[in-house]
Amino acid sequence: METKMLADKIKNNIQKVIIGKDDVIKIILTALIADGHVLLEDVPGTGKTVLARSLAKSIDCDFKRVQFTPDLMPSDITGINYYNAKEGEFVLRKGPVFTNILLADEINRATPRTQSSLLECMEEKQVSIDGTTYILDKPFFVIASENPVESQGTFPLPEAQLDRFVIKISMGHPSLDEGKQIFKRFIDDNPLEELKSVCSKNDIIECRKTCKKIFVSDEVQEYILKIVQKTLDNEKIALGVSPRGALAMLRMSQVYAAICGRSFVTPDDVKTLAPYVFSHRIIIKNNLRMKGMENSQSIIQECVNATDVPIENWNNKRG
């Protein structure tokens, strides 16, 4: 199935439940097809969990949800070998990571030890239990939510964990008109309960293969690297974007172009994606962060604005 057609089908299906949020849904679908993971950060009640569940129900694949709490153990996520007295042997009880789409709800409520249990799963698409490695099914997609305004009983995600998420995005509050539509849609029933799948997990896997063939010119590749270099040179930033972040932008831009119906990446694709792909990968210097003078998205936008945009050759085909 063509990537744009697939993305449109999923987006239209999600919007049977979610009002508006076209751009948010489009970016999240880009992350899914790019084989990344999503961190949804917003205040309570903005629809983070509903959006995640709507996406999962739109794809005919396994879905599991874990409510992260301070007493959650790593084995509650990955699984554990337990002794079966009846059989007289150890048996693997698989954890919720053995799925296709995992909703890690309020991930910052779990301890760092439990959060770290997702690192291998997210990066290597595998899990190690008692010295044995198990390959996870494809696709494996983590949607993690967190509340940025509560600090009591929470554990901020370390930089190594944040870097595993291909994007960080917020839902935002609905407008007045959108609020009225939400009332009309939910006043009698919950449309999420009636939502049906519109594609299979194999459709996602095939689109991933197709998107890797989307053309990225040398000029656009250099444009990405120059923006990354700006984050390394910026005096407001203590730690800039990593090589993993640059590769994430490359892959995301290919998929975003395909979702837009193009066979090549433009500089505008990079500009659109930069705040979502790069902002959670930088560390702002302490004096600026403590005074609330800067936020990561505004600094990334500064870096983008300070980088010369290629104006030709980026849509030429190979050869």
Q: Which two tokens stand for residue 202?
A: 């194999």
CA atoms within 13 A on the CB side of 215: 14
> What was the pLDDT predicted at 271?
96
User: Which residues have a Cβ under 8 Å from the Cβ of 276 and sit 6 or more positions away?
Assistant: 27, 167, 168, 169
Mean of per-residue pLDDT scores for the chain: 88
Distance CA 193, CA 267 (A): 40
Q: What is the pLDDT along the chain (319 residues), one digit of tens a residue?
A: 689 999 999 999 999 998 888 899 999 999 999 999 999 987 777 778 888 889 989 998 888 999 998 999 999 999 988 878 877 788 888 999 999 999 998 898 888 888 888 888 998 999 988 888 999 999 999 999 887 766 666 788 888 788 889 999 988 787 888 888 888 888 888 888 888 999 999 999 999 999 999 999 999 999 999 999 999 999 889 889 999 999 999 999 999 999 999 999 999 999 999 999 999 999 888 755 544 445 888 999 999 999 999 887 666 654 4
Which pLDDT tens digit goes with each residue over 55-67? 989 998 888 999 9
Residue 91 tokens read as: 């048996």
Calculate Rg over the CA atoms of the chain.
Answer: 20
Assigned token pair, 135 = 């390959």
Task: Determine the Cα–Cα distance for residues 268 and 254; give it in Å rounded to an integer.
Answer: 12
Quote the DSSP letter at residue 73: -
What's the confidence (pLDDT) of residue 288? Answer: 57
User: What is the secondary structure of 17-67 as a DSSP string?
Assistant: TS-S-HHHHHHHHHHHHTT--EEEE--TTSSHHHHHHHHHHHEES-EEEEE
Question: Closest by alpha carbon to 227, among 215, 241, 239, 238?
Answer: 241
Nearest in space to 91 (alpha carbons), one of 83, 100, 99: 83
> How far apart are the two ends of the chain, measured CA to CA in Å?
27
State pTM to two decimals: 0.89
pLDDT of residue 292: 47
Question: Which pLDDT belongs to residue 199?
Answer: 93
Cis peptide bond upstream of 112, omega within 30:
no
